[in-house]
Chain A
Amino acid sequence: MSDDTLISARGLSVGFSIGKGLFDKRILKAVDNVDIDIQSGSFFGLVGESGSGKTTLGRAFLKAVTITGGSATYKDGEVEYDLTTLNGAKLKDFRKRAQLIFQDPYAALSPRMTVRDIIAEPLEVMGLTSSREETDERVREIAAKCRLNLEHLRRFPHAFSGGQRQRISIARALVSGPKFVVADESVAALDVSIQADVLNLLKELQRDLGITFLFISHDLSVVAHTCDHVAVMYLGRLVESATTRQLFEAPRHPYTKALFSAIPSLDPDDEKSAQKLEGEIPSPTNQPPGCKFHTRCPFVIDKCKAEEPVLEHADGTGHEVACHRWVELMEQKAL
């Protein structure tokens, strides 16, 4: 863990109790034994299918779900918090520093509040400003940064389109001056023509305000364009983690490769030669033994079914992968 690591987790697990009675102690492990370092100032992408645990991991970093195992720390130069034990006044302070942007801008904004009140609410709840003038000043400042017109502030959310609403959600998340922002599928509900605009805005805010983003998405091409580091999750585990360039130029995990080949190409004549995945992600309540991906992996061998691979920091490039056969597959150019 280097000095400029903002979030660092070791063996992080999040489990939910799904037992139906007093003696039924079944646990659903949504996030299982994850090691991750998020560098300060980075745009960190987290990809995976639904059910992979990416949202739960993001919420664990915000202390919105209880961490049930392992360790996680937050360190931003001014403060250092242990996320597993954080409470009381320190937790309140942490809330200012870490914020969330939601997926659906239609559901995230109260229809009965003006845009000004929506953006000002976090300031008032956290007691960050001492007068109405100061609050208004802060609201106007952040609204301008998020490219909202000042006259918009007096209106209600229903008057706005999806893209504008998402900019309002972003302004609300950023008004308390957070250092760390989790953007959970924040462009998934938007049309492509608007999506590009919101992505460019997020990048701009990251640069201008020095915010670290954890960008959760199922869309690899969006991630490729915005993030500088990407981690791929499958069934609660991290299966691959690398810089965007490394990952997109030479994916090492068969799952990552399969995700790439599943993206529909704009070229109608591009018959995807690469393998398509059979089947679906298994239920987290009924996880397969060994490598979690072995039920769908085209390169499965007996070892995969018995022994779970760990995330290897293999060759000093920082490109990590959890697969028994990746070296072999890379040499055979099977991926």
Chain B
Amino acid sequence: MSNLITVQNLTLKFRTDEGLITAVEDVSFRLRKGEVIGLVGESGSGKSVTAKALMHLNAKNAVYSPESKIILHTDEGDVDVLSLRKAKDMKVVRGGAISMIFQEPMASFAPAISIGKQMVEQLMLHSDMSKEQARKHSIEMLDRVGISDPHKRVDQFAFELSGGMRQRAMIAMALSTKPKLLIADEPTTALDVTIQAQVIDLMKNLVTEFDMGIIFITHDLGVVAQTADYVSVMYLGRLIEKGPVREVIRDPRHPYTQGLIAALPKLDDLENPLLPIPGDIPSPLERPPGCVFNTRCSKIVGDACMSVLPPDIKVNPVHRVACHIYKDEGVA
């Protein structure tokens, strides 16, 4: 499979009144066509900021380190995302080759413009369709994502649709330009479980149908297990573990990943009490030295945890973990 996007040593800080705040630090990953990567972490872990960086969508006060590289591989050649300066050039990463769907579909649609008008508008921007073609294509897309009566729905406004319907419309809109990469930022968090299951099924089918890559951002490991091929776990801006979804969930190596899985209420085990991870994620203003997880870790192995950044250790060729417990090759 060919590569779709490569992220190398992405480090991103925000300039604020209180100084530079590190949001993402030294994150590298790549995504191939037809793959789904789950990006997991709690609030403040930097997962949304990472995704926005792929579209060059972070606020003006964002400072990228010189080593940071994001390369989008398209049929027309490679695009160095972070070097894009003009709005005209950014079209390719904003709705062209990359589309994004957000958590709150109500906030993503303009409230006073009909769904159809918004879909047509972006199609006219990103393709050479005529208005009639664009409208026809929009109706087709609405039909594809399972919206009944697409001819009627296309002229409705976002507030007239239910939550699940709105998220479907959002997906239809994001996919209508045939992007190579879809970034889904907590797309099912605001939905009820029964609707969430429907949307997950829909997205799974669309990956195969459109042969695109998806970056699925979520805090819900269950959702990741059901959708992703690979999972990357983030904590305080750092990627602390990554690998194939089965391996990471069945055999988590990082104490944080282990803690996340243990804290999850499971239906097949109602007897044992829930095991929280003690403490809170530290404020980005007070990043601990050494391993970023050392303020909450129950498996501290020595001074190294407190002072030395743990290296990326290969559990096997595809599963990596950043933790001092393990030594390269000698992983138990």
Chain A interface (Cβ < 8 Å from any Cβ of B) = 49-50, 161-164, 191-197, 199-200, 203, 218-222, 224-225, 244-245, 248, 258-269, 272, 276-278, 280-281
Which chain B positions have C-beta within 8 A of A276? 194, 197-198, 201
Q: Other CB < 8 Å A-B pairs besides A259-B194, A263-B222, 17 of them?
A: A161-B281, A192-B220, A196-B274, A199-B274, A220-B267, A221-B266, A225-B265, A248-B267, A259-B193, A262-B194, A262-B197, A264-B220, A264-B222, A264-B226, A267-B225, A277-B194, A277-B197
- A138–B164 Cα gap in the complex (Å)? 46
Q: Is the interface of B mostly helix, strand, loop or mixed?
A: helix
Max count, chain A CB within 10 A of own CB: residue among B162, B165, B201, B275:
B162
Q: Is there an interface contact between A225 and B270, defined as CB atoms closer than 8 Å?
A: yes
Which chain A positions have C-beta within 8 A of B164? 280
Chain B interface (Cβ < 8 Å from any Cβ of A) = 42-43, 162-165, 192-198, 200-201, 219-223, 225-226, 245-246, 249, 259-261, 263-267, 270, 273-278, 280-281
- A49–B198 Cα gap in the complex (Å)? 14
Q: Is there an interface contact between A193 and B263, defined as CB atoms closer than 8 Å?
A: yes
Q: A50-B163, A196-B263, A277-B194 are in contact. Are A266 and B274 (CB under 8 A)?
A: no
Q: Is there an interface contact between A268 and B245, defined as CB atoms closer than 8 Å?
A: yes
CB < 8 Å neighbour of A49 from B192, B267, B281: B192
Closest to B148 in A: A279
Which chain B positions have C-beta within 8 A of A200? 273-274, 276
Closest to B41 in A: A191
Q: Is there an interface contact between A163 and B280, defined as CB atoms closer than 8 Å?
A: yes
Q: Is there an interface contact between B196 and A260, defined as CB atoms closer than 8 Å?
A: no
Closest to B282 in A: A161
Closest to A191 in B: B42
Which chain B positions have C-beta within 8 A of A267? 225, 249
Which chain B positions have C-beta within 8 A of A224? 265, 267, 270
Please provide the 9 A-B residue pairs with the shortest distance between their CB atoms, ordered closest to farther.
A264-B222, A197-B276, A191-B42, A196-B274, A196-B276, A193-B277, A49-B192, A161-B280, A221-B265
Q: Is there an interface contact between B43 and A195, defined as CB atoms closer than 8 Å?
A: no
Which chain B positions have C-beta within 8 A of A261? 197
CB < 8 Å neighbour of A265 from B198, B225, B245, B280: B225
Which chain A positions have C-beta within 8 A of B198? 276-278
Closest to A277 in B: B194
Which chain A positions have C-beta within 8 A of B267? 220-221, 224, 248, 260, 263
In whole Å, how far is A296's beta carbon from the nearest beta carbon of chain B? Answer: 8
Which chain B positions have C-beta within 8 A of A161? 280-281
Q: Is there an interface contact between B222 and A266, defined as CB atoms closer than 8 Å?
A: yes
Max count, chain B CB within 10 A of own CB: residue among A49, A196, A218, A277:
A196
Which chain B positions have C-beta within 8 A of A199? 265, 274
CB < 8 Å neighbour of B193 from A162, A225, A263: A263
Which chain A positions have C-beta within 8 A of B162? 280
Which chain A positions have C-beta within 8 A of B194? 49, 258-259, 262, 276-277, 280
Q: List 18 contacting pairs A-B, 8 Å CB cutoff, sorted by A.
A: A49-B195, A191-B42, A192-B260, A193-B263, A194-B42, A196-B277, A200-B274, A219-B193, A219-B265, A220-B193, A224-B270, A260-B267, A265-B222, A267-B249, A272-B197, A276-B201, A280-B194, A280-B195
Q: Is there an interface contact between B195 and A266, defined as CB atoms closer than 8 Å?
A: no
- A193–B201 Cα gap in the complex (Å)? 27
In whole Å, how far is B112's beta carbon from the nearest beta carbon of chain A? Answer: 22
Closest to A249 in B: B270
Which chain B positions have C-beta within 8 A of A219? 193, 265
CB < 8 Å neighbour of B259 from A164, A193, A260, A264: A193
In whole Å, how far is A259's beta carbon from the nearest beta carbon of chain B? Answer: 6
Q: A50-B163, A191-B42, A280-B165 are in contact. Are A264 and B280 (CB under 8 A)?
A: no
In whole Å, how far is B204's beta carbon from the nearest beta carbon of chain A? Answer: 11
Which chain B positions have C-beta within 8 A of A258? 194
- A222–B222 Cα gap in the complex (Å)? 13
- A138–B192 Cα gap in the complex (Å)? 39
- A280–B194 Cα gap in the complex (Å)? 8
Closest to B219 in A: A191
CB < 8 Å neighbour of A196 from B200, B245, B265, B281: B265
Which chain A positions have C-beta within 8 A of B274? 196, 199-200, 225
Q: A262-B196, A262-B197 are in contact. Are A192 and B263 (CB under 8 A)?
A: yes
Q: A49-B194, A221-B267, A224-B270 are in contact. Are A193 and B276 (CB under 8 A)?
A: yes
Which chain B positions have C-beta within 8 A of A194? 42, 276-277, 280
Which chain A positions have C-beta within 8 A of B265? 196, 199, 219, 221-222, 224-225
Q: Is there an interface contact between A248 and B43, defined as CB atoms closer than 8 Å?
A: no
Which chain A positions have C-beta within 8 A of B260? 192-193
CB < 8 Å neighbour of B270 from A164, A195, A244, A263: A244
Max count, chain B CB within 10 A of own CB: residue among A195, A245, A261:
A195
CB < 8 Å neighbour of A266 from B219, B264, B278: B264
In whole Å, how far is A139's beta carbon from the nearest beta carbon of chain B? Answer: 22
- A220–B222 Cα gap in the complex (Å)? 13
Closest to B248 in A: A268
- A280–B197 Cα gap in the complex (Å)? 12
Which chain B positions have C-beta within 8 A of A262? 193-194, 196-197
Closest to B277 in A: A193
- A262–B196 Cα gap in the complex (Å)? 8
In whole Å, how far is A116's beta carbon from the nearest beta carbon of chain B? Answer: 20
Closest to A197 in B: B276
Q: A193-B42, A276-B198 are in contact. Are A218 and B263 (CB under 8 A)?
A: no
- A244–B200 Cα gap in the complex (Å)? 28
Closest to A161 in B: B280
